[in-house]
Structure formats: C-alpha cells, structure tokens
Amino acid sequence: GENVEQHPSTLSVQEGDSAVIKCTYSDSASNYFPWYKQELGKRPQLIIDIRSNVGEKKDQRIAVTLNKTAKHFSLHITETQPEDSAVYFCAASISSGIQAAGNKLTFGGGTRVLVKP
C-alpha cells in the first residue's frame, strides 16, 4: 500500500520567516495530495490540495509543489504568523473512475510548526 513520509516532525520559525514541510510517497499511482492543518484539540482542516496534473498551486501565503518523478511534494508558508502555529499533515490518495474503489487518504506523520513572535 501507499506510504507517506513527512519531514521535519517539528519546525520552529521566527514570525515573518518562511516554513517548508516536505513529504514523499511510495505509490506512483497516487494523484491527489491534500494538506491539512490541525490546531490543538480541533479537527484537521484542508488548507490546500494539488492534483498530479499540476506542478504548483498557490493560495495567498500558502503554496504546494509536486514533483511526480521524484514522488515528493512540499508545503511552503511565507510570512509566517503566530496563528500558523499548528500541526500540519500531508496526505496522498489515488483517484479512480471506479466508484467502489478506495480513495482513502494515507497521511504523513505530521509536522508541529511553532511560529515565535
């Protein structure tokens, strides 16, 4: 099955600096890569996602890049703010035209980001 590795496990940055989180996946058939943010005691929420037909996607201060050949994708947060402090998870899944086929997400181990004022 799919295996997703995520690094680093913790990341401390100064407010205003950039943060980068990297993930690798094992199954070349994976084609959907979402990123989730989980604040303490709360549910994970989608912050950005990318599909395999796109190399990069941006949404304000957040960007994700995908390298299909190397099977890795990264999350970039620019101009970090204290409210960016949270645990971030990458995930991978396989879209299928078969309704009954699994489109389950396999998650990385998470990165705890701390933005210091």
Partner 1 sequence: DGGITQSPKYLFRKEGQNVTLSCEQNLNHDAMYWYRQDPGQGLRLIYYSQIVNDFQKGDIAEGYSVSREKKESFPLTVTSAQKNPTAFYLCASSTKSGTENTEAFFGQGTRLTVV
> What are the strands, taking DSSP E only, across the chain?
4-7, 10-14, 19-25, 32-38, 45-51, 56-59, 62-67, 72-77, 86-92, 106-107, 111-116
- Contact range with partner 1 by CB under 8 A, out of 12-20, 39-47, 57-65, 76-84: 39-47
Among 7, 51, 58, 61, binds partner 1 (CB under 8 A): 51
Query: Please, are residues 6 and 109 in contact by the beta-carbon 8 Å criterion?
Result: yes
For the bound state, the minimum distance from the C-beta of residue 40 to partner 1, rounded and expressed in Å, comes to: 12
* Side chain identity at residue 66, one-letter code: L
> Does the footprint of partner 1 cover residue 75 (CB under 8 A)?
no
57 binds partner 1 (CB under 8 A): no
Q: Cβ of residue 98: shortest distance to partner 1, in angstroms?
A: 9
Q: Which is nearer to partner 1, 18 or 103 (CB)?
A: 103
Beta-ladder partners of 86: 113
